[in-house]
Amino acid sequence: MRKEKFTLGDVIIYTLLALLCFTIVFAFMHLLSISLSPNAVATKGGLIFLPKQITFDNYIRVFNNRYIWLGYKNTLIRTVAGTAVQLIFTALGAYVLSKKYFPHRSFWTLLIVFTMFFSGGLIPSFLLVKSLGLIDTYASMIVPGLISAYNLTIMRNFFQSLPEEIEESCMIDGAGRMRIFWQFILPLSTPILATVALWLAVGHWNAWFDVLIYISDKDKRTLQVVLRNIIVTGTKELDIDASSSSVSNEPQVSSEGLKAASIYVATIPILCVYPFLQRYFVKGIMVGSLKG
């Protein structure tokens, strides 16, 4: 059996990847240690890889805050609804553009790709959302970005790579185009659907800027906006002011520990999704980029 030989380039690449993985793991471990450390340790400064003293007071305070749970609810609603709706509309648009018999297909494709490089800007987008009556609604987080030109292009290329004989045989058996799409094309497109769904879910979970612009009701803010307020403006979202005596009265709780705990609470759920969709990720990207 022939053994593969490692070249100098392979050694350099693996070394750089190992260092990159170490920095990522170290950052996560540092945050975890800060979140599990009492006030005296967390405020001392420096890098901590393993906690010297363990306390769960920071997590208890985070989970006892109503805005965290409201943020979770709003983020889940946005992620599930937004991913499902955007995936359906993107697939429908990509399927149409993948057909050679679609009138002026090249023109419409170029028009959609044009929006990847030029947009109306923030103020026109806000005025449009306001004129549609979407301010302070969940729709304002989903409708403005209903179809991504990049995702549409990738999915269109994937649909083009499917054999046309499949549709021809289905049409001979009497199936309509919508039935072909839902019952035959989509089941064959699991890799690209899972890939785009992963992108959409991560994008919705991490989104905060549009919520900051369109949502003024605190009860409708997503988890990332709550997390941003905790990190940027201190721990007021947790009803704690770092400069007040409320923190000093609880020696196990610190503002840094609360911020670290909040980051973990907001990050862990989306990380749990990756292992289930990772096997589709590379295949979907490779196949979706074969045809132009």
Per-residue pLDDT of the chain (292 residues; tens, 9 = 90+): 455 677 888 889 999 999 999 988 888 888 888 888 887 776 776 777 777 778 888 888 888 888 888 999 999 999 999 999 999 999 999 999 988 888 988 899 899 888 888 888 888 999 999 999 999 999 999 999 899 898 999 899 889 888 888 888 888 888 888 888 888 888 888 888 988 988 898 889 989 899 999 998 888 899 899 888 887 766 556 654 444 444 444 556 777 888 888 888 888 887 887 777 666 666 656 655 544 4
Instruction: Judge whether 16 lies within some domain.
Output: no
Residue 255: CB atoms within 10 Å: 20
pLDDT, residue 234, reads 62
Q: How far apart are CA 211 and CA 284, in angstroms?
A: 30
CB 92 within 8 A of CB 147: no
Instruction: Judge whether 49 lies within some domain.
Output: no
Q: Which residue, chain included where needed, has tokens 């697939």?
A: 91
Q: What's the whole-model pTM score?
A: 0.80
Q: How far apart are CA 49 and CA 28, in angstroms?
A: 9
pLDDT, residue 285, reads 62
Instruction: Judge whether 118 lies within some domain.
Output: yes
187 exposure class (CB count in 10 Å sphere: 0-12, 13-18, 19+): exposed
Instruction: Judge whether 43 lies within some domain.
Output: no
Q: How far apart are CA 58 and CA 263, in angstroms?
A: 12
Give the number of domains in the chain. Answer: 1
Q: How far apart are CA 110 and CA 257, in angstroms?
A: 49
- List the domain range (segments joined by +) for residue 83: 56-288
Residue of 213, 246, 206 lying closest to 228 (CA atoms): 206
Instruction: Judge whether 28 lies within some domain.
Output: no
CATH of the domain at 147: 1.10.3720.10
Q: Which residue, chain included where needed, has tokens 């001392």?
A: 44
Instruction: Judge whether 261 lies within some domain.
Output: yes
pLDDT, residue 282, reads 65
Instruction: Judge whether 105 lies within some domain.
Output: yes
CB 147 within 8 A of CB 89: yes
**3-state DSSP assignment of residue 234:** coil
C-alpha distances in angstroms, 47 versus 2, 50, 259, 260, 263? 45, 9, 16, 13, 17
CB 152 within 8 A of CB 94: yes
CB neighbours of 170 closer than 8 A, spacing ≥ 6?
179, 180, 184
Rounded to a whole number, what is the largest CA-CA distance in the chain? 77
Q: How far apart are CA 98 and CA 104, in angstroms?
A: 12
Instruction: Judge whether 42 lies within some domain.
Output: no
